[in-house]
A = this chain, B = another copy of it.
């Protein structure tokens, strides 16, 4: 109901509720609120983002509850934990995303865009075949300069030994 849920947020919430029931855990208002908020956009949510969005919805949860609910969401495999090197974690839900998308992190403005890498399944299959490794979660993160910053003429601080290394 109400605000900003994407079309499929409801069904995702239902999946989370099912997971909780299977684990013998109650579906509390707080857990539903965190899940619903996180499912409401394709964004990369920090705990602070979630806290603020929840406050705006009129729900005031303690940080601890948010962290504990995120643990459950990650365990349920509906949500993926991310780390863009900011010193804290971010979270994205998985259901409306295809697997094998890369995160393009702009080192100038911090923006993160997603980019589909269609060869990921084939790469994972090769790893399974050649290394005997059974992949469960893949994270591909590419840092660099986004098109917007590039067009603005922004350049990354030229760090030291760029050329010597690439040549070596």
Residues of chain A touching chain B, judged by Cβ–Cβ distance below 8 Å, are 15, 18-19, 22-23, 75-78, 81, 83, 85, 94-95, 102, 104, 106-107, 113, 115, 117, 119, 123-124, 127, 130-147, 150-151, 156, 159-162, 164-165, 168
Report Cα–Cα, A19/B165, bound state, in Å: 11
Q: Which residues of B lie under 8 Å from residue A164 when comparing CB positions? A: 15, 18
Q: Is the interface of A mostly helix, strand, loop or mixed?
A: mixed
CB nearest neighbor in B for A74? B159
Residue contact A76 to B160, C-beta cutoff 8 Å:
yes
Least CB distance from A159 to B in Å reads 5
Residue contact B136 to A113, C-beta cutoff 8 Å:
no
Report Cα–Cα, A43/B7, bound state, in Å: 47
Residue contact A159 to B76, C-beta cutoff 8 Å:
yes
Least CB distance from A95 to B in Å reads 6
Q: Which residues of B lie under 8 Å from residue A124 when comparing CB positions? A: 142
Residue contact B113 to A131, C-beta cutoff 8 Å:
yes
Q: Which residues of B lie under 8 Å from residue A106 when comparing CB positions? A: 133
Cβ-defined partner of A136 (8 Å) among B95, B115, B145: B145
Residue contact B147 to A143, C-beta cutoff 8 Å:
no
Residue contact B139 to A133, C-beta cutoff 8 Å:
no
Cβ-defined partner of A160 (8 Å) among B19, B123, B151: B19
Q: Which residues of B lie under 8 Å from residue A85 when comparing CB positions? A: 81, 83
Q: Which residues of B lie under 8 Å from residue A22 when comparing CB positions? A: 160
Cβ-defined partner of A133 (8 Å) among B76, B78, B147, B162: B147
CB nearest neighbor in B for A128? B144
